[in-house]
Amino acid sequence: MTTSAAERFNGKVVLITGASSGIGEEMALQLSRAGARLALAARRTDRLEQLHGQILAAGGTEPLIIACDVTRDEDPSRAVAETIARWGRLDIVIANAGFGVVGAFAQLSLEDYRRQFETNVFGVLRTLQAALPAVLESHGQLVLLGSVAGWTASPGTSPYAMSKFAVRALANAITPELALQGVRVTLISPGFVESDIRRVDNQGRLHAEAAEPIPRWLVMARSEAVRTMLHAIARGQREVIITGHGKLFVFLERFFPWVLRAAARRMAATRGGYRTEPKAE
């Protein structure tokens, strides 16, 4: 993170959902080093307690730990209330909680799609709606974690891609609305970034022992990815595409979509275009 980006976060109150691992965890560590006052929300409070210890050991301000399941209507509202009770205000909300439901369309149920949308779409909505009054008051910022999958969908990823297309549509719609009220909106659209998301099955359960299905050379280190994300947030960018391959996919989708369609047909024909969910032991 550049000095100017770090200065943007010094003293700011930041609520992060899905902060127990991956991108959310790394955001917490880097924002703490930048002097932010953090409220860290996730279902896995044991992981949050470990992160709490890391932040304190590094000399950061003690973060607020909040048990929060974004699929429950009351949890994001409670997380916002606890944040304000602790810090007195709320400047930045990072709606990061999410996971991926994958598989061939013929093998998925309607419940699979509902489960995906409850976290990735309605979880984001619950978080933003709960936080909006406080962010309006602080003239703050809403940050949505999208994906390159919100630009281009590949075989075997229909629930996840649909959810991320919806998040991108939400960001595009509310950005001009909230700009009139002094609130910035930033959409972050990563490609393959080092995280646990590809080790989480269709029920939302983590399989830490599962192998990374993406070639290592294609996966960006999360520390590098998060530095880029935080720089974009500090600048108030409307959207940032993370990873070189992600930028390439978006470019092709915008200007040469037939290239991706042809690739998708080949992927589907070989049945290798989508990952299967990690298997429980």
Containing 111, the helix (H) or strand (E) segment is helix 110-120
Q: Is 113 among the catalytic positions?
A: no
Which of 213, 212, 208, 214 is closest to 281 using CA atoms? 208
Q: Where are the beta strands (DSSP E) in the chain?
A: 13-17, 37-42, 64-67, 92-95, 141-145, 184-190, 239-242
Strand order in the sheet with 37-42: 64-67, 37-42, 13-17, 92-95, 141-145, 184-190, 239-242
Containing 26, the helix (H) or strand (E) segment is helix 22-33
167 and 150 Cβ atoms separated by less than 8 Å: yes
205 and 280 Cβ atoms separated by less than 8 Å: yes
Any idea what DSSP says for residue 209?
Answer: T
Query: How far apart, in whole angstroms, are the C-alpha atoms of residue 232 and residue 219?
Result: 20
Radius of gyration of the chain, Cα coordinates, nearest whole angstrom:
18
Catalytic residue among 9, 99, 160, 249: 160
Any idea what DSSP says for residue 70?
Answer: T
In 58-140, which residue ranges form alpha helices assigned H by DSSP? 74-87, 110-120, 122-138
- Counting beta carbons within 10 angstroms of the beta carbon of residue 204, is it exposed (0 to 12), middle (13 to 18) or buried (19 or more)? middle
SS3 186: strand
Which tokens in the block code for residue 70?
A: 């974004």
Q: Report, as residue numbers or ranges, the catalytic residues.
A: 160
